[in-house]
Amino acid sequence: MVRLVTAAFVISLLIIVLLIEVIRRGNKNRTILEENEARYRDLAHAGANIFWEMDPNNRFSYMSGDSSLFYGTEISNILGKTLDQLCKRNPRIDFEWGKYESALAAQKPLNNFILKVRLPTKDINIFVINGKAIFDKLGAFQGYRGISKNITHEHLLSQKLAYQANYDELTGLINRYSFNSRLKAHVEQDSRSGSCYICFLDLDRFKLVNDTAGHLVGDAMLAEIAQLIEKTIGEHGVLGRLGGDEFGLIILDQSQAQAQSLCEEIIEEINAYRFHWNQRLFNVGISIGMVPVTGELSVTELLSKADLCCYRAKDLGRGRVYIANLDSDDLYDEQLQMGYIANVAQAIEQNQFYLVKQLIKSSDSMHKNQSHYEMLIRYRDEQGKIIAPGLFIPAAEKHSVITLIDQWVLSTVLNRYDDFFPQGNTQVSINLSGMSLSNENFVSEVKRLLTQSTVSPELICFEITETAAISQLGKAQEFISEMKSLGIKFAIDDFGSGASSFGYLKNLPVDYLKIDGSLIRNIVSDSSDRAIVEAIHSIAKMMSMKTVAEFVENDDIIKVLQEIGVDYLQGYGIEKPQACE
């Protein structure tokens, strides 16, 4: 009997111990479950995600996370409903419902479906949904389990970036990138119809508005002008802002006469427009270049020609339309020029510029104590073809990149002086553009280069044209004075080519007058040319200047110049330009 009681007691005790262990393990598992639940909830909140499960009827049966970020309501109001019921679908705004429902019907994975939800506040939430179908051990479908992420902010940001990539923020017009894409499409589609035209529009006198009233006022005016042009063209074209105060216009389904009439209407509207600011009125004009779209020209070539036509319209007096004649080469040289100087820095880096030297010889055969050369720049294009300075120099001046070329020439001469002139004691003449005279950065660069060089400044002579000296007399005086203080010499180039007088020479302390070749070529047979050259030489002597005759091509010319007493001679009759070794 005692044994039976003892056995029963031991069994009861074991049962109690087992129950305690089961309870302990149950509490532990419950704690783990609660911790996991909290962990998932925290992760969901941190990542703007929700974890969810659906039953076999695709109704939400479980959800963890902040459901208000998706559906604008609590989880209790979501469970038991389908996604279709929650989203209040609108065919005009929803993304991928068809694909989503097809995946559900086939019990396939839900991979990155993007859907929209209209909130009670009428706002729209956008989210991406991922999930997998759940099956039991027997293969019976149990529903879906997955995760959703709110991507509203990312989507709106993407839309904003897409807008900024294609539209100009100030005017609301399409930007250059989008305009080029539209033009390319029309080139491919309309090139055979002959009813499509590309126009380049550039405002006249707009810089005056920015300079006098400020850029904020200029921007406001620019936005109004864009609206005015867009209203004027109506449905006849596509308008884009190419940058600054430049616009591009594609005119569609119009004859040349109609396209020209539309451009003239734009000009009239802009001329009549007035911008009111701070009790002041501002007005601008506009010049337009127009080119017919054909399959023979690429988008780049069309825009380039339209740009050149616009420049031609400005040259002819502004406020007008200039239409390209594709059967004529009237814009060919200008187009070449623009291509040559499109990237001066790259041309310098790739050694497309190089120098040659031409002797400036003393007319006195006894005077040979110092050599004198003029440095001449040449340009070699990508195909190795030599381009004449008469093509790329005017373009570089027109597009304000000539100072970069001037700096390169001076730097190259100073760095390679000993290679070019191993005999030493050689005076070197370097041509400068009028733009460089007024460029403060160029003055600083000259000083820096001279400081770093072992070449004496007294061996350098800057040549500036008579036209540049007269048109910027004040700047020329300042520049020459500052450079001569360093020891640099100066020459007035092409003297006598214009209708100027000798008066301004009194204010320019130059060392040489280079007599223009137009006065030298016929000096043997034309007595008036000889008289002018004699007068120039006489005045130069009175002012302690030396004279240099250009375009000296034969012995007869040399003889006449020696009779006059011209100090130096330069031209093919003396020596052709030589490569710098």
pLDDT tens per residue, range 509-520: 899 999 988 889
> Is the per-residue pLDDT at 357 higher than 70?
yes
Residue 474 in any domain: the answer is yes
d(CA 154, CA 126): 9
Question: Do 376 and 496 belong together in one domain?
Answer: yes
Beta strands in 432-577 (DSSP E): 460-465, 489-495, 512-515, 546-549, 568-569
Question: Do 429 and 523 belong together in one domain?
Answer: yes
Give the pLDDT score at 306.
87
136 is catalytic: no
Summary mean pLDDT of the chain? 81
d(CA 376, CA 354): 9
pLDDT band at 499 (very low <50, low <70, confident <90, very high): very low
Is this model's pTM higher than 0.85 or not?
no
Question: Do 442 and 402 belong together in one domain?
Answer: yes
DSSP 259-325: HHHHHHHHHHHHHH--EEETTEEE--EEEEEEEE--TTS-HHHHHHHHHHHHHHHHHTTSSSEEE--
d(CA 3, CA 12): 14
Least confident among 317-326, 446-455, 554-563: 317-326
Question: Do 283 and 425 belong together in one domain?
Answer: no
pLDDT tens-digit readout, 225-243: 999 999 999 888 899 998 8
CB of 542 within 8 A of CB of 491? no
Least confident among 335-344, 358-367, 444-453: 335-344
pLDDT tens-digit readout, 541-550: 999 999 999 9
Residue 337 in any domain: the answer is no
Q: What are the respective helix, strand and coil percentages of the chain, to the nearest 5?
A: 45, 25, 30
Residue 336 in any domain: the answer is no
> What average pLDDT does this structure show over 306-312?
84
Amino acid type, 32 = I
Question: Do 122 and 226 belong together in one domain?
Answer: no
The number of folded domains in the chain is 4
Specify the CATH number for the domain of residue 192.
Answer: 3.30.70.270
**Single residue among 157, 178, 194 that ends a domain in this structure:** 157
> What average pLDDT does this structure show over 270-275?
89
> What average pLDDT does this structure show over 395-403?
76
Residue 541 in any domain: the answer is yes
Residue 75 in any domain: the answer is yes
Nearest to 126 by CA among 52, 49, 70, 64: 70
Give the pLDDT score at 343.
61
Residue 335 in any domain: the answer is no
pLDDT tens-digit readout, 103-152: 888 889 988 888 777 776 667 778 888 889 999 888 899 999 988 888 87
Question: Do 23 and 68 belong together in one domain?
Answer: no
Residue 479 CB-density burial (10 A; 0-12 exposed, 13-18 middle, 19+ buried): buried
> Is the per-residue pLDDT at 93 higher than 70?
no
| DSSP SS3 for 103 | helix
d(CA 537, CA 539): 6
CB of 179 within 8 A of CB of 198? no
d(CA 374, CA 358): 5
Which one of the listed residues 94, 190, 202, 245 is annotated catalytic? 245
Portion of the chain with pLDDT greater than 90, in percent = 30
**Single residue among 276, 295, 330 that ends a domain in this structure:** 330
Give the pLDDT score at 50.
81
pLDDT band at 155 (very low <50, low <70, confident <90, very high): confident
Give the pLDDT score at 95.
58
**Single residue among 330, 360, 383 that ends a domain in this structure:** 330
pLDDT band at 456 (very low <50, low <70, confident <90, very high): very high
> What average pLDDT does this structure show over 345-357?
84
Residue 162 in any domain: the answer is no
Give the pLDDT score at 47.
44
Question: How does DSSP classify residue 95?
Answer: -
Q: Which residue has the higher pLDDT, 496 or 71?
A: 496
Question: Do 439 and 522 belong together in one domain?
Answer: yes
Question: How does DSSP classify residue 182?
Answer: H
What domain range is 32 assigned to? 1-38
Q: Which residue has the higher pLDDT, 216 or 29?
A: 216
Residue 413 in any domain: the answer is yes
For residue 76, which phi and psi values (nearest 5 degrees)?
-60, -25
CB of 318 within 8 A of CB of 299? no
> Is the per-residue pLDDT at 92 higher than 50?
no
Give the pLDDT score at 45.
47
d(CA 439, CA 519): 32
> Is the per-residue pLDDT at 557 higher than 80?
yes
Question: Do 176 and 242 belong together in one domain?
Answer: yes
Q: Which residues contact 32 (CB under 8 A, 6 or more apart)?
A: none
Give the pLDDT score at 46.
45
| DSSP SS3 for 522 | coil
d(CA 358, CA 372): 9
Specify the CATH number for the domain of residue 124.
Answer: 3.30.450.20
Question: Do 60 and 176 belong together in one domain?
Answer: no
> Is the per-residue pLDDT at 1 higher than 60?
no
Give the pLDDT score at 9.
53
CB of 570 within 8 A of CB of 363? no
> Is the per-residue pLDDT at 522 higher than 70?
yes
Give the pLDDT score at 94.
53
CB of 288 within 8 A of CB of 197? no
pLDDT tens-digit readout, 414-443: 999 999 999 888 999 999 988 888 788 888
> Is the per-residue pLDDT at 334 higher than 70?
no
CB of 330 within 8 A of CB of 315? no
Question: Do 448 and 545 belong together in one domain?
Answer: yes
Question: Do 256 and 282 belong together in one domain?
Answer: yes
> Is the per-residue pLDDT at 330 higher than 60?
no
pLDDT band at 199 (very low <50, low <70, confident <90, very high): very high
How far separated are the first and last CA of the chain, in Å rounded? Answer: 128
Question: Do 326 and 452 belong together in one domain?
Answer: no
| DSSP SS3 for 557 | helix
> Is the per-residue pLDDT at 554 higher than 50?
yes
Give the pLDDT score at 88.
60
d(CA 79, CA 132): 19
